[in-house]
């Protein structure tokens, strides 16, 4: 089986960059809250999406559209129209989380390829097979909470293609179920499209240092020269029993280069790179490294090694300039 490299594209230049440097697929979103990276200035309108799809298809590559937030009763028409507009642009698949939207898409466009989003929170083969049976899902993106042994069990018990996150920002919650942002801002990432809405983020220089806040809640305080990160509740430093530290999760990036041979052996269909909110320079560097790594692993998995230069470059791009295997590797399990 050929392992696909699925790369992020927050705009048209990033899409072209990913395609030109080795991505098999890129995933994108509309310029609104129908996708889970609804940051200001990011994403595509219909015209640029159509142009991006045409560019990818000329190069023999695919474009996947994320419609991975959840419509409400009062906003259903907007998400329905997004499916219709996606069909007009010629995207190769739509990544969905909401069962109602899956029903609409599968009934209205029976030939449309559907992928189950990580926001669908399907962590078992039973859940994935349910979505396949009822909505024809052909691929599922697994939440980043399973060990590789658990991933392998899923792969063995479903005919649905499995896509895994390989690199990028690490969500410490089961995607699709986090309510931390809702608690802090009153807006759910599952409907508003972003876990820390830009309008709720504030930076302030104080006598104690540079402070980041989300809707008034102090998330972090940085000393002079200390590297800062985009403020999210799960990766803030908090005072717990007179100790201030990353109480939920440190800011770090997932990097699974060393696990590639194992992922290949268990039959993973695709590796996904996180980062639609990142720059074209990020997309270029990460895509080039992962293209080279996947090609080497597929040529000779038994003698595959992670090159030091790959790790060094990815660490420079990683959140907090550090990486982890996340839940994939649990030595205690």
- Over residues 131-153, the pLDDT tens digits come to 999 999 999 999 988 999 999 99
| Claim to verify: residue 112 and residue 51 sit in the same structural domain | yes
| Claim to verify: residue 41 and residue 160 sit in the same structural domain | yes
- Nearest CA to 328 out of 278, 266, 240 is that of 266
**pLDDT at residue 332, as a whole number:** 52
* 96 and 68 Cβ atoms separated by less than 8 Å: yes
d(CA 39, CA 199): 10
**pLDDT at residue 330, as a whole number:** 66
| Claim to verify: residue 101 and residue 239 sit in the same structural domain | no
The answer to whether residue 178 sits within a structural domain is no
Handedness of CA 146, 150, 154, 156 (dihedral sign): positive
d(CA 262, CA 264): 5
CATH number at residue 116: 3.20.20.70
Instruction: Indicate if the pLDDT at residue 2 is higher than 90.
Output: no
β-pair partners for 162 = 140
CA 55 to chain centre: 22
Task: Report which secondary-structure segment, H or E, holds 6.
Answer: strand 4-8
β-pair partners for 62 = 25
| Claim to verify: residue 94 and residue 194 sit in the same structural domain | no
**Of the candidates 245, 267, 286, which is a domain's last residue?**
245
DSSP-based three-state secondary structure for 62: strand
| Claim to verify: residue 194 and residue 317 sit in the same structural domain | no
Instruction: Indicate if the pLDDT at residue 96 is higher than 80.
Output: yes
For the segment 88-114, the average pLDDT, to the nearest whole number, is 97
Backbone angles phi, psi at 84, to 5 degrees: -60, -45
Task: Quote the percentage of the chain above a pLDDT of 70.
Answer: 98
pLDDT-derived band at 171, boundaries 50, 70, 90: confident
| Claim to verify: residue 151 and residue 293 sit in the same structural domain | yes
| Claim to verify: residue 196 and residue 284 sit in the same structural domain | no
**pLDDT at residue 183, as a whole number:** 86
| Claim to verify: residue 240 and residue 258 sit in the same structural domain | no
| Claim to verify: residue 232 and residue 269 sit in the same structural domain | no
| Claim to verify: residue 158 and residue 231 sit in the same structural domain | no
Q: Report if pTM > 0.75.
A: yes
For the segment 34-60, the average pLDDT, to the nearest whole number, is 95
User: Domain span at residue 87?
Assistant: 4-170+252-328
The answer to whether residue 40 sits within a structural domain is yes
**Of the candidates 245, 276, 295, which is a domain's last residue?**
245
The answer to whether residue 182 sits within a structural domain is no
Segment 120-128 long-range contacts (CB within 8 Å, at least 24 positions apart):
120/68, 120/96, 120/176, 121/97, 121/174, 121/175, 121/176, 121/177, 123/150, 123/174, 124/154, 125/153, 125/154, 125/156, 125/157, 125/158, 128/154, 128/158, 128/160
d(CA 241, CA 86): 51
| Claim to verify: residue 29 and residue 46 sit in the same structural domain | yes
Instruction: Indicate if the pLDDT at residue 312 is higher than 60.
Output: yes
**pLDDT at residue 46, as a whole number:** 97
The tens digit of pLDDT for each residue in 175-192 reads 877 888 888 898 888 888
The answer to whether residue 180 sits within a structural domain is no
Per the structure, the count of domains in the chain is: 2
Instruction: Indicate if the pLDDT at residue 174 is higher than 80.
Output: no
Mean pLDDT over the full length of the chain: 93
The tens digit of pLDDT for each residue in 237-290 reads 999 999 998 888 878 889 999 999 999 999 999 999 999 999 999 999 999 999
- Nearest CA to 37 out of 173, 236, 180, 190 is that of 190
The tens digit of pLDDT for each residue in 202-231 reads 999 999 999 999 999 999 999 888 888 788
Task: Report which secondary-structure segment, H or E, holds 222.
Answer: strand 217-222
d(CA 54, CA 102): 25
């Amino acid at each position: 089986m050929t392992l696909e490299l699925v790369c992020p594209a927050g705009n048209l230049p990033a899409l072209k960059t990913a395609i030109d440097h080795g991505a098999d697929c890129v995933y994108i979103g509309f310029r609104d809250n129908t996708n889970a990276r609804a940051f200001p200035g990011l994403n595509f309108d219909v015209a640029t999406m159509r142009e991006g799809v045409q560019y990818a298809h000329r190069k023999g590559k695919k474009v996947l559209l994320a419609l991975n937030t959840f419509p409400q009763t009062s906003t259903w028409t907007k998400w329905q129209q997004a499916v219709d507009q996606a069909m007009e642009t010629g995207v190769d698949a739509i990544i969905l989380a909401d069962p109602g939207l899956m029903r609409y898409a599968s009934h209205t466009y029976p030939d449309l390829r559907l992928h189950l989003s990580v926001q669908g929170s399907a962590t078992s083969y039973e859940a994935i097979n349910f979505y396949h049976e009822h909505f024809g899902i052909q691929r599922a993106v697994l939440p980043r909470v399973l060990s590789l042994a658990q991933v392998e069990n899923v792969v063995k018990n479903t005919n649905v293609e499995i896509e895994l996150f390989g690199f990028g920002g690490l969500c410490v919650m089961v995607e699709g179920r986090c309510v931390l942002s809702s608690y802090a801002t009153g807006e759910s990432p599952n409907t508003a499209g972003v876990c820390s809405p830009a309008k709720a983020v504030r930076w302030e220089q104080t006598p104690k240092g540079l402070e980041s806040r989300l809707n008034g809640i102090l998330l972090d305080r940085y000393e002079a020269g200390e590297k800062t990160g985009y403020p999210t509740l799960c990766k803030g430093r908090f005072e717990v029993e007179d100790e201030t530290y990353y109480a939920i999760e440190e800011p770090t990036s997932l990097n699974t280069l060393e696990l590639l041979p194992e992922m290949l052996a268990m039959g993973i269909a695709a590796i996904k790179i996180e980062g639609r909110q990142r720059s074209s320079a990020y997309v270029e560097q990460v895509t080039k490294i992962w293209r080279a790594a996947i090609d080497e692993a597929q040529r000779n998995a038994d003698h595959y090694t992670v090159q030091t230069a790959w790790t060094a470059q990815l660490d420079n791009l990683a959140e907090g300039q550090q990486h982890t295997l996340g839940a994939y590797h649990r030595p205690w399990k």
